[in-house]
Structures are given as structure tokens and as C-alpha cells.
Amino acid sequence: DTWFSSALWPFSTLGWPENTEDFKSFYPTGTLVTGLDILFFWVARMIMMGLKFTGQVPFRDVYIHALVRDAEGQKMSKSKGNVIDPLTKMRQYGTDALRFTLASMASPGRDIKLAEERIEGYRNFVTKLWNAARFIHLYADGPRTSLAAEFRPFPDRWILSRLNHTIREVSQAFENYRFDQAASALYQFIWHEYCDWFIELAKPCLQQENHPDAPATRQTLLESFEIIQRLLHPVMPFITEEIWQSFPHEGPSIMTQPYPTEKPEWVNAEAEQAFLLLQAFVNTARTGRAFLNISSAQTPSIYGASTQVTDTALLTFLAPYIESILRSSVITDQGIPSLRTLQLPSGHFSTIGIPVPNEIDLHEVVKKIQKQIGEKEKEVQRLGSRLSSPEFREKADPSVIQESEDRRTKLIDELEILNMTEQQLVSMTT
């Protein structure tokens, strides 16, 4: 009988009825992962048999995973022709990408609507990780520092503090079986902090011969990347093993290494706060350039100003890092010129000024901005109507509602900047 033999599985596979080393080491286990439909047929019977023959329950926690449906939420069946073959998707996008997709969508109490676009998106994440490894290999050789984190350069202090936060967030998510939250935290940190910001700030330092910060940056780059592989390994075991093996390491496999734990000495609230100012400045400057459709070559200088002396000093300290990203000099000690300079708020206390090149046709730029304003206003109105509908709020998934609310908030913020930009550019044409 299938269910009878399956009920014996937790201990029969370990050498029972002999009291083997495997049986003593691995029985009982901690968690069983299963589906809702076989709770009585399998789970309950394993508990009964475990108590009958060993006197112990085989596991304490049962994680009931979601049912995987198609992109429209329909149950997969051959008759409908909507079956997604995981082996096909693994060959097409990679096993790690499929695993990460399923983990990222494993929200409690909700079935997974598996769209191919999601798998494709996480394949891009795998590619991002691989490219980061290639970059680090280019600069891995060379002197490294033994300095404690608190004495390393500003970007290093920031990324180590953020990494410590991520270790805590991911560990807590795994402990609570929130695989979706763990995947989200890993994705956010690796792509949007480590790759988008830290690696970009590390490039000028490592590419300059004899740069004084290079040994510390190299140490932080390698140290944090090795921890990232161990953090990510439970969800993406194949690429993390491959990358881990390609760097100097101890032990035969990443699987035998300890899972990362928090490092309180890495916590640096001051560095994190300062980095928020850097990010706000860079993002605002990029937004302004995009509005004007100009490149860094057309904006050799960008002005920064603050209403508070302490913030001005911080902005001056951050200027070299901002310059390396924007490829423009940052002027913080002259105020912002009033003539033909687009002024935009950056963060809650500073303002940036982007000189508008004379060759820019302001009338054309204003037309494009007005078109964007009209499109975004329509989108805000559409989302507002959708969110005010009781039927939508009653039937839609909470994640869809939150996504719509976040999108509307973002559009309103963008409209504020667009309207401000339009007013300034119109005044420049008169």
C-alpha cells in the first residue's frame, strides 16, 4: 500500500529498525514541506507510525506550500493545455531562476500564479549576479586591508551595515517560513544596493593604480560577496556553488559552510543616513538630466545647496563619490545660480541645480514635459478610480492593491517634480 509504506518513510530510510548512526542523527527532523491535499493520507499517517514504532513524532513543523497555477490563476491540467513543465522552464531559464521565482511568490495562504515573465525576470537577476562575479574576479588580485569595518572608506562602511541588516532580515524570514520575504530582501540588497551602488562606487577606486582606498575596497568587495553567496545558496544553490568555487575558499563545498550570522560591529547608522543623501542627490540629478534629455558631457558641473551648515558639510564630504557616479563636478560652496539653472529638491533639506545648456530647445522640452504630465495625470486618475472601487478592494489580492497604491504614490511624486520643472523652464523662455 502506497500510503502505508510512505508513512514509514521518515525512519525506514535511516536504517530502522536498527538503531543506526543515521537514525540517531536525523530522526526526528524539524520540518516537513507538503501540500494541503495529502495531510490525512501522508502527514497524519507519518505521525501515527512515528509514535507507534519510535515513540517520537517525526517532525514538529509542517509547511503547507501553495498550489502552483497558470498566469491567469487557473489550475493546470492537460485537458486545458495550460500545464507548465518545470523541466522545460529549467532548460530555458535555468533551475536557479525557477527556484527563486517560486520562493519569491510563496506568500502564505495564496496560490502561485506562475507567469513566464517572472521566471525571465529572475533569470536576469542570475545574470546580474554572474556579471558581478566577473567584475570582482578582474580586481580580486592585489593587496587587501585588515582594517576593522569602522575604519574603512565610507562606501564600505555603508555596504557592510546594509549587509548586516540583510542577514538579519533574511534569517528572520527563513525562521518564520516567509520564503517570499527572504527572496525579496536578497533581491533588493544584491541588485539595488550591492550591484547598483557599491560596485559602481568601487570601480573608480579599483581602476586607478595605487588608489589609497583600493586595499580596503577590495577586501570589502570580496568579503561581502562571499557572504552573499552563502545567504543566497538555499534559494539558488547552483550558481552560488559555481561562483563560490571560483574564488579562494575553505572546505569542499559551499554546502558545508555555516550560514551567515549578524555582525553587530558592522552596524553604522551614520553611514546609512549619509548614503541616503548621496542616493537622493544622484537620483534627482539623473531625473533632471532625463527631463532635459542631456548627458553628463553636457553638464560638466552640478550645484548642490542646503539650508543647514551641517548638511552642507556632509554634501561636501559626499561630493567626490557623487562625482564618480554622475561624471560631473559637484559644486557645494557657491550657491545655485539663478539664471538658466533647473533647481530640484533632493531629499528633505537639499536642492540641486542643473545648468541648462544654451543649445537646448526649451520650447521642445516643455512640450515633452507637458505631454508626460498629461499622461501621468490620466494614470493617477485611473488608479484612483480603481482603488476607490469596493469591488476591486474586495476581490483583488492584497499585493495587487499595494502595488496599485505604490504606483499611484510614485506617479504623484513624479508629477510634482514635472510641474516644478515645467514652471521653471517656461520662465526661462520668457
Are 28 and 57 spatial neighbours (Cβ–Cβ below 8 Å)?
yes
Q: What is the pLDDT of residue 1?
A: 64
Q: What is the pLDDT of residue 50?
A: 96
Q: What is the pLDDT of residue 143?
A: 87
Closest CA to 349 of 270, 284, 301: 284
Q: Would you give per-residue pLDDT tens digits along the chain (430 residues)?
A: 677 889 999 999 999 999 999 999 999 999 999 888 889 889 999 999 999 999 999 999 999 988 888 787 788 878 888 888 889 989 999 999 999 999 998 887 777 888 888 899 999 999 999 999 999 999 988 889 888 999 999 999 999 999 999 999 999 999 999 999 999 999 999 999 999 999 999 999 999 888 999 999 999 999 999 999 999 999 999 999 999 999 998 899 999 999 999 999 999 999 999 999 999 999 999 999 998 888 888 888 999 988 776 678 888 999 999 999 999 999 988 888 888 999 999 876 689 999 999 888 999 999 999 999 999 999 999 999 999 999 998 888 777 898 899 999 999 999 999 999 999 999 998 7
Q: In terms of DSSP H, where are the helices of 258-356? A: 269-292, 309-326
At residue 321's C-alpha, the angle toward residues 318 and 326, to 5°, is 115
CA gap 206, 347 in Å, rounded: 29
Longest dimension (CA), the chain: 93
CA gap 25, 392 in Å, rounded: 52
Q: Which amino acid is residue 207, in one-letter code?
A: Q
Q: What is the pLDDT of residue 349?
A: 66
The H or E element spanning position 52 is helix 45-54
Closest CA to 370 of 430, 427, 415: 415
Walk across the sheet containing 350-355 and list its strands. 329-331, 301-306, 350-355, 341-346
Q: Which amino acid is residue 160, in one-letter code?
A: L
Strand, helix or coil at 112? strand
Within 10 angstroms of residue 226's Cβ, the number of other Cβ atoms is 19
Fold annotation for 99-267: Isoleucyl-tRNA Synthetase; Domain 1 (1.10.730)
Q: Which amino acid is residue 365, in one-letter code?
A: V
Tens of pLDDT along 36-70?
888 988 999 999 999 999 999 999 999 998 888 87
Tell me if the pTM is above 0.95. Answer: no
Residue 424 CB-density burial (10 A; 0-12 exposed, 13-18 middle, 19+ buried): middle
- Cβ neighbours of residue 81 closer than 8 Å, sequence gap 6 or more: none
CA R_g for the chain: 27
Question: Does the domain spanning 362-429 belong to CATH 1.10.287.380?
Answer: yes
Q: How many residues does the chain have?
A: 430
Are 421 and 293 spatial neighbours (Cβ–Cβ below 8 Å)?
no
Report domain extents, the chain.
Answer: 2-64, 99-267, 270-355, 362-429
